Amino acid sequence: MKVTAKAHPNIALIKYFGKKDEKEVLPYNDSISITWDTFETRTTLETAKAFNVFLNGHVASIEDREKIKTFLTYFTNDVSHTVVSSKNNFPTAAGLASSASAFAALSVAANRYFNCNFSEKNLEAITRKGSGSAIRSLYGGVNRFNRNGYVTRIDASLEEYRLLVVLISDHAKAVSSRKAMKHVVETSPLHKAFIDTANEDSDALEKALLSKDFHTVGRLSEKSALSLHGSMLAANPPIHYLSDAAFRVMDEIVKLRRENREVYFTMDAGPNIKVLTTKKDVRLVANHLKAQGFNVLPALKPSKEGAHIL
């Protein structure tokens, strides 16, 4: 018996950060993301003599193995003959949403492999327990992860959207987003401000996406990312993922905007910068950043494809 599923990562424009219910993974605030093509996780479940987990071709750490084993108990009470192999075609744990595509692919694969036939909503409730952001990679396009723990799909036209990833480091981050989230909730006086802003801005972002108001989409995305990193800096002790190079990329983006280019930045719990731009401006923006010495990956397009069995 062998089942493989594939999922793409999503990048949040309004960020999720912090759980009001740790067990159920219910977020304090709504978040909204776009699912992107090219980057993908492929996860295979197959029958073998003993349980094992391989991540990107290597035996997983005990911590990752246990995490995946616990996650699989939502689908079965016997994992003893299952081997999980998961591969990303992009850097893992570097703030490029690898846990989102990984848990979305694992959920869909396990649902089929263990013959669960869970409904979409049941699968959402399970997937978010692997990684909150993974719930948004179950589907393509624009997805809103609501405070009630479920997804609303937003039918916006994304033809014009492009995403550039500026790779500042492809090393796994020192502090996982799970740990950072808990620490920020517990110690940052700015976390409440982050939540309040995110909830208000989610409605505004949804409207802007639907009315093709790219400027407002970009402006709200930057605001959410900066507010997230501000709340991390205000934690005790502070958490900072962004290096000098990251701030230099942000400066270049602001400069390009002064030259009337449609370009905005967003950052997650990692050192890399994601650049939101348009079909019209993407080439110029990529060339400009490359000319400044930055490592810019090929442009991504929004993907309509949700997590699915291959």
Interface positions with ligand PMV (CB under 6 A): 12, 15-17, 31, 99, 131-133, 177-178, 268-269
Nearer to ligand PMV, 75 or 103 (CB): 103
CA distance 48 to 33: 37
Nearer to ligand PMV, 16 or 294 (CB): 16
User: Minimum Å distance from CB 80 to ligand PMV?
Assistant: 28
C-alpha distance from residue 193 to each of 17, 32, 66, 86, 309 (Å):
12, 18, 35, 37, 40
Q: Is the CA virtual torsion 275, 280, 285, 290 positive or negative?
A: positive
User: Minimum Å distance from CB 250 to ligand PMV?
Assistant: 17
Nearer to ligand PMV, 132 or 302 (CB): 132
CA–chain centroid gap for 91, Å, is 13
CA distance 29 to 237: 23
User: Minimum Å distance from CB 109 to ligand PMV?
Assistant: 18
CA distance 153 to 265: 23
Nearer to ligand PMV, 15 or 288 (CB): 15
Nearer to ligand PMV, 173 or 288 (CB): 173
82 and 48 in contact (C-beta within 8 Å)? yes
Q: Quick check: bond before 237 cis, omega within 30?
A: yes
DSSP 169: -
User: Minimum Å distance from CB 172 to ligand PMV?
Assistant: 13
Phi, psi (degrees; rounded to nearest 5) at 195: -65, -45
User: Minimum Å distance from CB 11 to ligand PMV?
Assistant: 7
